[in-house]
């Protein structure tokens, strides 16, 4: 049973990887926007003195973790579209009747979506080197761990909504409605300490805030939230949302 579950997860992961790497436009499209923001905003305001940013840290350095978080947010939330496409073309029905649990199916989806999100974020991190951003390679494994947690969180959220919806256009509208508040409350573009106190309350309820601040602690050595708290919140959020996604998928209708 365990081997069958692991094989199902691996097959679904491999299928999604092949689909992703066979679509160059998808790869380029998801990387160009964050890189453009790094060039236009990060480099443009690179020497500006912004309150709340640690002295000696450039705005580009502050922005890079935010763009990594944004990349995984968009990639994860919209990963649910693949479920809607599979439902539309009948593939979802076929895998649902396979002799494996639905939990294995949703875990395979989440793992593949998280892998794609981390891959795109790492590409942004590499591209940022050409703009002058520098970080220690010693922290890269821990940074990738944070990226995985962020991707697990938002891929799970995308799958939760996809399991309850059948309309692709409606799904896109809901995702856009959720993404913007999550992104701008996370401190991706400006320090959360500069926000009004009532807005900071919403920021601290945003899991992306902890993911981005955790990446900042590792990559630039400065964070508004202690790194151990960031790791704890991201881990708990990822576990809870994966379980909710598994339950939502388990109780969803196939067609």
Given a cut of 60, whether residue 3 has pLDDT beyond it is yes
Given a cut of 70, whether residue 96 has pLDDT beyond it is no
**pLDDT tens column, 234-251:** 999 999 998 898 888 777
Residue 140 or residue 2, greater confidence = 140
Averaged pLDDT for residues 70-91 = 77
Confidence at residue 91, expressed as pLDDT on a 0 to 100 scale: 63
**pLDDT tens column, 22-77:** 877 777 777 777 878 777 776 666 666 677 777 777 888 888 899 999 999 988 88
Confidence at residue 254, expressed as pLDDT on a 0 to 100 scale: 53
Tell whether pTM > 0.85: yes
Contact call for residues 131 and 37 (beta carbons, < 8 A)? no
Hey, where are the domains in the chain? 2-250
**pLDDT above 70: percentage of residues in the chain:** 87
CA-to-CA distance for 41 and 17, rounded, in angstroms?
Answer: 32
CA-to-CA distance for 45 and 60, rounded, in angstroms?
Answer: 8
């Amino acid at each position: 049973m365990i081997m069958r579950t692991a094989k199902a997860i691996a097959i679904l992961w491999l299928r999604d990887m092949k689909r992703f790497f066979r679509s160059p436009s998808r790869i380029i499209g998801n990387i160009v926007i964050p890189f453009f923001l790094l060039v236009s905003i990060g480099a443009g305001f690179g020497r500006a003195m912004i309150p709340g940013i640690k002295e000696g840290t450039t705005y580009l350095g502050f922005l890079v973790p935010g763009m990594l978080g944004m990349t995984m947010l968009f990639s994860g939330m919209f990963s649910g579209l693949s479920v809607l496409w599979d439902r539309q073309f009948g593939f979802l029905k076929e895998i649902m009747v396979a002799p494996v649990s639905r939990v294995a199916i949703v875990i395979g989806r989440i793992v593949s979506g998280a892998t794609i999100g981390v891959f795109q974020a790492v590409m942004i991190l590499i591209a940022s080197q050409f703009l002058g951003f520098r970080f220690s390679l010693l922290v890269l494994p821990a940074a990738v761990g944070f990226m995985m947690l962020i991707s697990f969180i938002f891929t799970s959220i995308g799958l939760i909504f996809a399991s309850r919806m059948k309309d692709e256009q409606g799904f896109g509208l809901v995702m856009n409605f959720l993404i913007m508040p999550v992104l701008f409350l996370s401190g991706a573009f400006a320090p959360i300490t500069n926000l009004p106190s009532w807005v900071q309350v919403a920021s601290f309820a945003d899991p992306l805030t902890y993911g981005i601040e955790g990446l900042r602690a590792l990559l630039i050595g400065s964070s508004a939230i202690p790194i151990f708290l960031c790791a704890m919140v991201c881990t708990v959020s990822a576990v809870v949302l994966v379980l909710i996604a598994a339950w939502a998928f388990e109780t969803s209708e196939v067609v």
